[in-house]
A and B are shown apart, each in its own frame.
Chain A
Amino acid sequence: MHAFAVSGKGGTGKTVFSALLIRELTKKGSVLAVDADADSNLPEVLGAEVYGTVGHIREDLLKKKSELPPQVGKDVWLEGKTHEILSENRGFDLLVMGRPEGPECYCMVNNLLRRIMDMLSENYAYIVIDSEAGLEHISRRTTISVQDMVIIADGSQQSFNTAVRIRELAQELKARFDHMYIVLNRMKNSDPERAEKTGLTYLGSIPYDPEIEKACYEGVPLPEHSAAAESVQHLLEKMT
């Protein structure tokens, strides 16, 4: 099992990158796509249906915990719900993490989720986690090691700042990444030097692609073929 995580400042195109990466990987093996951004857009970009989020079932369990019959295993219940909300698609399954935590105690539920997430991920050749910049889902709800962390920047100083913060956060959280890459998206003139200044490995860049822009504008799934998809294919080859 090979895991990729994709992160970066909001609006830099990490969800589109994740989707293109997922599409590419399905050609090689089964993929578990994890939408770990509270503002989840991955399903729409991939054209996948969503039946529920981990956030919802987590809250549901906390709400129902004393109503459930005492002998009904909460671990089996939560595992079952996780399987039920898994969106099944050709070549990939999609799990949406959803809303952030409330004020309640999540010790028990996160402990259960870690085991469920770890067991579930074992079933796939690849995992792609579309992660918000806080990396919370990676640090709290799974213990799987992520081989490749890809941070997307769009050329704005803010997106580079975020890239640096994610790198620092990953170190603080002792998150398990073998490689940390930076990818430049939609830049007229790629600037590898500036990208490397973040302390991350420059992986490459993805050109501005009117096809992608159109799909995003219309809110429809990404097209099967595009210039952006081709460059993601190259970047993937560089990583593996």
Chain B
Amino acid sequence: MEKECPVEIGVVFEGERVRRDDMYVELGGIKVPNKAELVRCKSVDEVEDGKVIIKGLDIKDMEEGSQHPFGILVEVAGEQVEPDLEAVIERRIHDFSNYVEGFMHVNQRYDIWCRLSKKSYQKGLDSFRYLGEALTRLFKAELPIIEKMQVTFMTDEADVKPFMEEAKKIYEARDARARALSDDDVEEFYGCVLCQSFAPTHVCVITPDRISLCGAINWFDGRAAARVDPKGPNFRVEKGELLDKENFEYSGINEVVKEKSLGENERFWLHTMFGYPHTSCGCFEAIAFFIPEVEGIGIAHRNYQGETVIGVPFVTLATQTGGGKQLDGFLGIAIEYMRSPKFFQTDGGWDRIVWMPQSIKEQVKDAIPENLYDKIATEEITTSINELKQFLQDNDHPVVKLWTAKKEEPGEVMEAEELEVIPVGAGGGLGGVRIILKNARIHADKMIIRRK
């Protein structure tokens, strides 16, 4: 029987730094150009379970204090193992190899940097075989869908270099797939309440098409964080039922919003700034604001210091928008959200965007439909509503069509020849009820008050 792993393995060793004074060998790292790690999903007959292949020098053949190129290839197989899981499994190489006492693993993909401590080497950890076996055991324990797993370690430049080139291509293809992921492709979303210290009723709902308002946490980050600490500030949100296709309302989101906003809000519509919009924390990257005069949406970002087209600077808008309240027509967003295919889709998407600072316009140029680019005003064109109106008209911006539509049917929002209004406060039947009309515009030719 082969020797058992001579060092301990456990989560207590996570985050272990092997100091230079205590280091036996170094694998990868900034000074070594060739290094990479990769997980590949294979068919069951291509993988020999438990096998560890070592190409190049093994630890026992290395000189103390030396540095080496390093490649880790993990091949997994199982009926339910799909290529989409490769990235998820790959991330765990970092965690699991750190569980090995005296083994430090830092970074990911083609940046990996590992060290083995003198102490663990002296305890007998002199072969990558132990590391490979430990990884296989840990992976299979956590992900039972992995039926077979084999690990290859490479320390020879001649092997690591082509491996790294190949891995880079695979990362790229994977990234392209990840960027194309949409809300409809996944079963779950993620929530974030990191900002609740500033906005106690705010909760961010993070979906593949909707990055957090700060722009820092995408769906994949949410998933990774929720796995590390499911009770932490990032958590899984079951999608539930799609209640309203137009407004992207999901039953699962509503449940979480109700709970995490402490009952303040009950529904979220994902890709709109009207009705039941997402709330805003306080540290969003930009604010989208509705400009009723032109039926369009303006955007200003945190680093824009001038006045917006509605006459107020970002800071003023921010105080109005933040704090975890649902506010029709004002919404904090991430700049990256402007690249989402669902960017304000309910409201008409890019066709409704009429104004934004020049710098942001350049930054997201790739996302702006080509025919619209010159139709969107910036501070260099105007910061006055009247001029904006003229500009939009002159450039035939899509919102202009809405103006004529409005003129033709003034009652577009709510049309009724006669509308009976429930008497408020009469008879005390509605005592204690709050009625709030936000940004409401009511037009009535005549009001009749009658005794029943």
Would you call A107 and B194 a contact (CB within 8 A)? yes
A155 to chain B, nearest CB (A): 39
Q: Which residue of A lies closest to B233 (CB)?
A: A111
Distance between A65 CB and nearest chain B CB, rounded to angstroms: 5
B19 in contact with A30 (CB, 8 Å): yes
Residues of chain A within 8 A of B111, CB atoms compared: 80
A122 interfacial by beta-carbon distance below 8 Å: yes
Interface status of A93 (Cβ within 8 A of chain B): yes
A120 touches B17 (CB 8 A): yes
Q: 1/0 per position for B215-229, CB-CB distance to A under 8 A?
A: 111111100110010
> Which residues of chain B come closer than 8 Å to A62, judged between CB atoms?
216
Q: How far is the CB of B333 from chain A (nearest CB, A)?
A: 12
Does A123 contact B15, Cβ atoms closer than 8 Å?
Answer: yes
Cβ distance B65 to chain A, nearest Cβ, rounded Å: 13
Question: CB distance B214 to A80 under 8 Å?
Answer: no
Q: Beyond A71-B175, A73-B91, A108-B216, is A123–B30 a contact (Cβ under 8 Å)? A: no
Choice from B113, B211, B335, B336 contacting A80 with Cβ under 8 Å: B113
If the complex has contacts A65-B216, A70-B218, A71-B174, are A104 and B19 also in contact, measured as CB distance less than 8 A? no
Q: How far is the CA of A105 from the CA of B21 in the complex (A)?
A: 38
> Which residue from B14, B194, B339 sits with its C-beta under 8 Å from A111?
B194
Contacts of A194 in B (CB 8 A): none
Q: Contacts A71-B87, A123-B15; is A83 near B217 (CB within 8 Å)?
A: no
- Whether B152 is near chain A, meaning CB under 8 Å from some CB there, is no
Q: How far apart sit A106 and B217, CA to CA, in the bound complex (Å)?
A: 12
Q: Which residues of B contact A74 (CB under 8 A)?
A: 216-217, 221
A76 contacts B by Cβ under 8 Å: yes
Which of B15, B19, B181 interacts with A119 by CB under 8 Å?
B15
From known contacts A69-B178, A72-B108, A84-B30, infer whether A105 and B214 are also in contact, taking CB-CB under 8 Å. Answer: yes
Chain B contacts for A107, CB-based, 8 A:
194-195, 214, 216, 283
Q: A66 near B: Cβ within 8 Å? A: yes
Cβ-based interface call for A164 (8 A) = no
Contact B113 A83 (CB under 8 A): yes
Q: Which residues of A contact B21 (CB under 8 A)?
A: 30, 88, 90-91
In the complex, what's the smallest C-beta–C-beta distance from B305 to chain A, in angstroms? Answer: 10
Answer whether residue B379 sits at the interface, using C-beta atoms and an 8 A cutoff: no
Contact between chains at A123 and B19 (CB < 8 Å): yes
List, in ascending order, chain A residues with CB within 8 A of B217's CB: 74, 108
Residues of A46-105 whose CB lies within 8 A of B:
62, 65-66, 69-77, 79-80, 83-84, 86, 88, 90-91, 93, 103-105
A77 with B194: in contact, given A70-B175, A70-B220, A122-B15 (CB under 8 Å)?
no
Residues of A contacting B15 in the complex (Cβ-Cβ under 8 angstroms):
79, 116, 119-120, 122-123
B94 at the interface (CB under 8 A from A): yes
- A66 near B215: Cβ-Cβ < 8 Å: yes
> Is the C-beta of A170 less than 8 angstroms from some C-beta in chain B?
no
Residues A108 and B194 in contact in the complex (CB < 8 Å), given A73-B108, A75-B224: yes
Q: Which residue of B lies closest to A67 (CB)?
A: B336
**B106 surroundings in chain A (CB, below 8 A):** 79-80, 83-84
Answer whether residue A109 sits at the interface, using C-beta atoms and an 8 A cutoff: yes
| CA of A86 to CA of B106, assembled, Å | 13
Which residues of B are found within 8 Å of A104, using beta-carbon distances?
A: 214, 283, 285, 302
Task: Please give, as numbers and ranges, the residues of chain A lying within 8 Å of B283 by CB-CB distance.
Answer: 104-107
Among A65, A91, A120, A123, the one with the most B-chain Cβ atoms within 10 Å of its Cβ is A65
Q: List CB contacts (< 8 Å) of B110-166 with chain A.
A: 111, 113
- Which of chain B's residues have a CB closer than 8 A to the CB of A84? 30, 106, 113
- Asked if residues B107 and A76 are in contact (CB atoms below 8 Å), the reply is yes
Contact A108–B214 (Cβ < 8 Å):
yes
Task: Flag if B108 contacts A76 (CB, 8 Å).
Answer: yes
| A73–B221 touching, CB < 8 Å | yes
> Nearest A residue to B109 by beta-carbon distance?
A72
A91 contacts which chain B residues (CB < 8 A)?
Answer: 21
CB distance from A211 to the nearest CB of B (A): 28
In the complex, how many angstroms separate the beta carbon of B235 from the nearest chain A beta carbon? Answer: 14
8 contacts between A and B (CB under 8 A): A66-B215, A70-B218, A70-B219, A72-B109, A73-B91, A105-B195, A105-B285, A123-B17
If A73-B224, A88-B19 are given as contacts, then 14 extra A-B residue pairs at C-beta distance below 8 Å, sorted by A number, are A66-B211, A66-B215, A71-B175, A72-B108, A73-B94, A74-B217, A76-B94, A80-B108, A84-B113, A104-B285, A107-B194, A107-B195, A108-B212, A108-B214
Chain B residues in contact with chain A, CB under 8 A?
Answer: 14-17, 19-21, 30, 87, 91, 94, 106-109, 111, 113, 171, 174-175, 178-179, 181, 194-195, 211-212, 214-221, 224-225, 228, 233, 281, 283-285, 302-303, 335-336, 339
**10 shortest interchain CB distances as A-B pairs:** A119-B15, A105-B283, A80-B107, A105-B214, A108-B216, A69-B175, A107-B194, A88-B20, A123-B17, A66-B336
